[in-house]
């Protein structure tokens, strides 16, 4: 008897399930072909790709639906940071040999549900097995909501630094239930155009540093102004430090002139709060707390 594991839900059966259960979308060929085909686009496309892996982005044994949600929501957050609305996605699953037959369906269901919240259908993808843990890769296409996509390289000295939502303590479970700020950037762009933007995946301070480096600027971040999530308080320790450095908050961090910030404040009616946390400068990059310089050794999560 061969030791090769052949699951009941093999690749052919999985593709058949996908075709039966995928709702109609803009693709010109159905799921299961060698590639997706889309109609001509009238605007430039924004293309992003993100991977989540067992042991790095989630622990073994969690609900597979949450894995699918997280994989898709991270890409949606990247599109939000570019000021783009999603068009569709590709989903690639690398699964452990001998995994439960329902695993690819459950991950796909989570991915589809996350995409459906923002009209982002599944166009196709790939599956394979290996001797390791679960790895999920999502590639996503989007269109700029305005004439041009936003980038992280347009900030200038004097711009204010603004964030959506609140920060810290995401490891208590919020990192698996990401809410991409697609609706928020759409509302922002109806009022103003940020000069630069990034989503906070690796820590507020680290991602602000990345934006500043790309823009050739310095900054002053006031740690006392950073909105602290209740999860950061519940997690214990220095909640402000958590809010500034932990990461996986997936909030938007952006810059804009002071006059545009005043307009945005005056007309903002969305439920998600906006908070000014600092200012871009022509000098050094520094953080203050309690009115004094604050040295933070660990700025965020660095991929190694």
pLDDT of amino acid 268: 98
pLDDT of 23: 74
Give the separation between CA 289 and CA 224, rounded to whole angstroms. Answer: 6
The pLDDT assigned to 9 comes to 57
Provide the whole-model pTM: 0.88
pLDDT < 70 positions in the chain: 1-12, 14-15, 18, 25-36, 38, 297-298, 300-304
Q: Where are the domains of the chain?
A: 12-144, 160-293
Instruction: Tell me the CATH class for 12-144.
Output: alpha beta
Chain mean position to CA 32? 27
Provide the pLDDT for residue 4. 37
Secondary structure class of 12 (helix, strand, coil): helix
Directed axis angle between helix 103-116 and helix 11-21, to 10°?
A: 30
160-293: CATH class: alpha beta
What pLDDT shows up at residue 43?
77
Amino acid 299: pLDDT: 72
**pLDDT attached to residue 16:** 73
Q: H or E stretch including 206?
A: helix 204-215
**Cβ-based neighbours of 124, under 8 Å, separated by 6 or more:** 27, 31, 32, 33, 35, 36, 90, 91
pLDDT in the model for residue 19: 72
């Amino acid at each position: 008897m061969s030791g090769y594991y052949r699951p009941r839900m093999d690749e052919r059966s999985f593709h058949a399930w996908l075709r039966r259960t995928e709702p109609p979308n803009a693709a010109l060929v159905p799921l299961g072909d060698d590639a997706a085909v889309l109609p001509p686009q009238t605007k430039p496309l924004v293309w992003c790709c993100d991977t989540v892996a067992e042991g790095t982005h989630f622990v073994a044994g969690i609900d597979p639906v949450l894995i699918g949600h997280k994989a898709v929501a991270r890409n949606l957050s990247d599109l939000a940071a570019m000021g783009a609305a999603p068009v569709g996605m590709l989903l690639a699953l690398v699964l452990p040999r001998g995994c439960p037959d329902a695993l690819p369906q459950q991950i796909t269901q989570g991915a589809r549900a996350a995409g459906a919240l923002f009209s982002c259908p599944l166009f196709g993808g790939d599956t394979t097995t290996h001797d390791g843990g679960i790895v999920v890769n999502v590639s996503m296409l989007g269109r700029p909501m305005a004439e041009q996509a936003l980038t992280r390289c347009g900030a200038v000295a004097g711009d204010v630094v603004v964030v959506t939502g609140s920060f810290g303590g995401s490891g208590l479970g919020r990192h698996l239930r990401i809410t991409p700020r697609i609706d928020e950037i759409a509302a922002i762009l109806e009022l103003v155009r940020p000069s630069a933007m990034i989503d906070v995946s690796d820590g507020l301070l680290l991602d602000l540093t990345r934006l500043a480096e790309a823009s050739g600027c310095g900054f002053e971040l006031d740690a006392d102004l950073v909105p602290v999530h209740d999860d950061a308080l519940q997690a214990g320790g220095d909640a402000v430090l958590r809010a500034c450095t932990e990461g996986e908050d997936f909030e938007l961090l952006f810059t804009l002139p002071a006059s545009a910030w005043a307009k945005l404040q005056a007309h903002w009616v969305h439920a998600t709060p906006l908070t000014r946390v600092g200012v871009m400068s022509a000098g050094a990059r520094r953080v203050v707390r309690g009115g004094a310089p604050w040295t933070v050794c660990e700025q965020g999560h660095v991929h190694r």
